[in-house]
Amino acid sequence: MIDQLGAPGDSMEVSGAAERHYAPAEVASLWSLDVETIRRIFLHEPGVVVLQSPTKKGRRQYRTIRIPQTVLERVHQRLQR
């Protein structure tokens, strides 16, 4: 699979799995916003990876969010309008 990615600078399109994914804290730092604001913006955005464990009775739900580079760029462009 590594051979399929090519050298840096190639014009090949990177697959979604090999694409850079950001944590909400990283995006919050880049955009100077609160982490919870970033979570709200991206939670239901198509393409965002949301990992969550099954909920147990009486326990809160934990979610891990990862934001792909393409989704980050798309939302940034949309918010600039």
16: confidence class by pLDDT, cuts 50, 70, 90: low
Provide the residue ranges of all domains of the chain, joining segments of one domain with +: 19-52+64-81
Write down the mean pLDDT value for the chain.
83
Kindly write down the DSSP assignment for every residue of 14-61, as one continuous string.
PPTTTS-EE-HHHHHHHHT--HHHHHHHHTTSTT-EEEEPPP-TT---
66: number of Cβ within 10 Å: 16
**Cα–Cα distance for residue pair 61/39, rounded to 1 Å:** 14
Looking at residue 17, what is its pLDDT? 78
Looking at residue 5, what is its pLDDT? 42
Q: Evaluate if residue 69 carries a pLDDT over 90.
A: yes
